[in-house]
Structure 1
Amino acid sequence: MSMTTYIGFNFPVEIQDDYTENEVDINYFFSVKENRQIVQAKHFTTPYVYEIETKGEPIWQMHNENKVYSPHNYEKAKRTFHHVCDFLKKFLPKGDYCEIYICWIGEEGEEHEKKLALLLDQLSVDEVEIVEKCLMMVRN
């Protein structure tokens, strides 16, 4: 079973099939169309759903338990989240937003356990805790 990070936009994204060295890529990695349709219907208000792939520690490792018991992994996940935020600052039009939902493949229809609203220009990453089944609305 795989954990995946879905991302929803208000505009279509051109998918690149080739591997890149980018810290953040948008594509379809683990999910099938039906999974994305469930996320869009259950959690998102945005019409276009993809997945985020990151090169570092998964952002869902950025939670308080890791901060205490695995600070090295927590810090790596925090760096990855910084990369995601930097990517979104450049990728999202000013005033627009995206939605991010993290869950295990097959659990797309379950209720989210945490909901965050984040502003990229006022974001204090140290105050953000990301867990599985976390729904985030990120505004640029």
Structure 2
Amino acid sequence: MSLASYIRCDIEIPINDDEYSDETFYIGCCFTGEFDLLNVTKYQFTTSYVYEVSSHWGIEISEYMNPKTCVESKKKLIELCEIMDSYLDKGDFFELYSCWVGVEAEKRDGELTLQINNFDIEQIEIPEKTLVRFEK
């Protein structure tokens, strides 16, 4: 199984169609198919544009993770926030949700709201099946 991360926002953003990109982080398909995207849209997000955030492993920040993978997730989250900050206007937001592929329709375990440019990456925890709202 693979951990996938998804984002939802109210604007259309460009995606990278090359799922085998050498980039460490991009917006486009990697693990999921159309059915997975439909389920995460229906069960975890409200509406609008939904994308898989592909990085060859999802974003999860937890004390129970492999330390190397946790550090990589922190870097990916910072990069994601920088990318989304360039697309969003003041008052806008995007949401992030990570889960194992195939369980997108399961009940989420938690919710969290953060300011897109004002959080301490070393002080947050984002385990799988947690919906995070990043506000600008």
What is the TM-score when the length of structure 2 is the normalising length?
0.83
Provide the residue aligned with 1:92 in structure 2: 88
User: Aligned in 2, Cα 1:58/1:29: closer, same or farther, shift over 3 Å?
Assistant: closer
CA contact (8 A) 2:9 2:93 kept: yes
SS in 1 for 2:117: helix
The sequence identity of aligned pairs, in percent, is: 30
Partners of 2:119 and 2:16 lie apart in 1 by 29
**113-122 vs 103-112, which moves further:** 113-122
SS in 1 for 2:94: strand
Provide the residue aligned with 1:119 in structure 2: 115
What is the TM-score when the length of structure 1 is the normalising length?
0.81
Alignment RMSD (CA, Å): 2.2
User: Aligned in 2, Cα 1:27/1:72: closer, same or farther, shift over 3 Å?
Assistant: closer
Confirm whether residue 104 of structure 1 aligns to residue 100 of structure 2: yes
Gaps of 5+ in 1: none
CA contact (8 A) 1:98 1:138 kept: yes
| Cα deviation, residue 81, structure 1 | 2.0
| Cα deviation, residue 58, structure 1 | 4.4
Provide the residue aligned with 1:37 in structure 2: 38
Give a deviation string over 1:99-136, Cα, whole Å, max 9, x none: 11111111011011121111113212222101111211
Confirm whether residue 79 of structure 1 aligns to residue 78 of structure 2: no
Gaps of 5+ in 2: none
CA contact (8 A) 2:116 2:134 kept: yes
Aligned pair count?
135
Partners of 1:65 and 1:31 lie apart in 2 by 24
Structure in which a larger fraction of residues adopt helix: 1
Confirm whether residue 139 of structure 1 aligns to residue 129 of structure 2: no
User: Aligned in 2, Cα 1:74/1:4: closer, same or farther, shift over 3 Å?
Assistant: closer
CA contact (8 A) 1:6 1:100 kept: yes
Partners of 2:95 and 2:114 lie apart in 1 by 10
Give a deviation string over 1:19-65, Cα, whole Å, max 9, x none: 6565531112222222112111111123111111237x7421x2122
